[in-house]
């Protein structure tokens, strides 16, 4: 709560997500094939989000807090054709280009994938 307060935000969003701005359109990005998620290219997700207005190309660009990309799968997940991999939240800016960018981020393979550990070790 302190971080939100220090940045001039509304701390009520912690308990009520409906207070967040919402995009005009939410586009599902679905799998074209069956298999296992081998890679999700984070840089491409970030580029797509920037195209939508969630990030800045220059310091003068405005940020649209309602847009972005929500990834629904992780490395190692089994997916079927038509399964949602991600949602593109858009208010119309560069929608097609961003959706194409998100479609390219997922690498699906037939062989089962063992995902890397998120936490490698603890140092105490």
Global pTM value: 0.83
Query: What is the reported pLDDT for 116?
Result: 73
Which residues are within 8 A (CB) of 66 and not within 5 positions of it... i.e. 6 or more apart? 20, 21, 22, 23, 24, 89, 91
Q: Alpha helices, DSSP H only, in 53-105?
A: 95-103
Tell me the domains of the chain and their CATH numbers: 21-109 (3.90.1170.30)
Query: What is the reported pLDDT for 90?
Result: 97
Closest CA to 78 of 30, 105, 44, 38: 38
Mean pLDDT by 10 residues, the chain (124 residues): 91 91 96 96 96 92 94 96 98 94 96 79 82
Contact between residue 101 and residue 48 where contact means Cβ atoms under 8 Å apart:
yes
Query: What is the reported pLDDT for 17?
Result: 87
Q: Backbone phi, then psi, for 14, in 5-degree steps?
A: -60, -40
């Amino acid at each position: 709560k302190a971080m939100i307060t220090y940045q001039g935000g509304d701390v009520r969003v912690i308990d009520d997500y409906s207070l967040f701005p919402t995009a005009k359109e939410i586009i599902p990005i679905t799998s074209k094939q069956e298999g296992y998620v081998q890679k999700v290219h984070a840089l491409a997700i970030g580029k797509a989000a920037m195209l939508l207005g969630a990030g800045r190309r220059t310091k003068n660009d405005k940020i649209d807090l309602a847009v972005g990309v929500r990834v629904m799968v992780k490395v190692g997940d089994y997916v079927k054709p038509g399964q949602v991999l991600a949602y593109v939240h858009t208010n119309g800016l560069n929608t097609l280009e961003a959706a194409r960018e998100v479609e390219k981020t997922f690498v699906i393979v037939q062989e089962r994938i063992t995902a890397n550990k998120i936490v490698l070790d603890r140092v105490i």
